[in-house]
A and B are shown apart, each in its own frame.
Chain A
């Protein structure tokens, strides 16, 4: 830009009358050389800064093809999400209360009510309490410092992934855990495990029941604590073969009294029950 401008002033007077003046001006232009040089230097620095910033962003793990939004915008949706889940819990309790209060005077209705209550508890649609285990999964406190950037695979071994959560839950289910719930760092945001519950990594969070949770993850399991613990600590079990114990990424605690909430997400849209009874 500035170079073009200077050129114009020296050799580009568009009309005849300016020609003698241009010659005179040429001498005094030597002062401009310094200024233009200084400007060019400043421009060069800016350009360098801009290039560095861009390449930093490109080098970061995130891809540029994903749009970015501010975290304030995100927290609005988070708040709304928690409010909606609370409201769903509220409404489900109302429905349960009404169901329990239905009086028809017939034995079959009483059986129906009992069956409904039992399945709700079993399937995760009623809150439950009981003794069991709390398993905490976190990133390793001692990640290897000797690993170079090429050792991406080794580095990921020291971080908790969705499959770690899913595998620990599977071990607990197989060992007879009756009720399960998962939370992230926010221990109040407990997500009950129902049939379709799974953890799926999205960015730095694990999405459980549609709700993003962040490490450390807590898995609450109601069941026989000794049996569940023995299953988790088996030498050929998931925790040891994955190296979660060696890398200090897992903590197992007995919990004499756990309170798990009911499922607070949405249900079905496409699957229709086939009437059999």
Chain B
């Protein structure tokens, strides 16, 4: 029998991770805030039932949250990243192929059993993940990726489905497609959905059945594929394994605007340190470095500038990258501008193995090795004692523009000093 595609994702992933390592939060309303404690990005089901909306700025609802006794947490990326890896590797043995699509969701392919029934499989998978990781998941099953995503949405939308919906077992897809607004279809962006609405196409069933010519004229081959996928013809393949990254970016919004060049330099320097760490972890080197900075797009006099430089030899050495990046800050900086965000982009990444040898460097092989050993020790120290334990003078100390994470929980799964306590009392 034909294969089935599944979209498996964790419900309220961030909030669920917080609850998994703080038993005091089980059954209580929890919200997780975005960077800089900006707005609500994840809600436990208890918080959702209180009517707390997604995306609401924290300062607007802080009082409401306090009144309801809602627990507020800053985004704890160390914890979520580790739990994501655990989730994905736990899914692996249950499926034939897995494509990790985002931090909390994955597409999978699996064979449909002879009797066609996947409920037992899905139930077993859900209770395994719940038991082993403490995470609730939802599973959508269908003949194509677009439909699997749609089925997942149905699985989560009604508790009677118990987190599993198999579109392939339904006699007709039509009623399910009809209850899916075009805006909710995977791959339909704001522009296309607006275009659909103008033509009276409001749901997935109507989009599937509209004239292909018209859709192709608007959205090209992407539109045709979308229509086929909605009709249950799989044409988007699973992408297996993480494709080696071609570039890596570290950028942050500041908790308050930056006006001084020195402050901008410190911010950029700290992003370079972070990006270089990332490269070393990915065992890659960068051949080109770009620094960018911009003011807020919501204020008048919007300003955005980038500057780029090629590195003589691809590198992941923080010193080398800092030396390349810091002169670029002067090029993007403008006096009297209130910078809201800056970042560093490392491009032309190459693997360690394809390293073109050091014919150009001024360092001897031994000096080079010592530099690499130094970077390694710094990474290990930062891993062990917390990020930022060892850093570079260029980054400065105690920077007021740094990310606000006032309600951060512990890195309960990745840091020895922040482990949860098992009480023996």
Q: Do A and B bind each other?
A: no
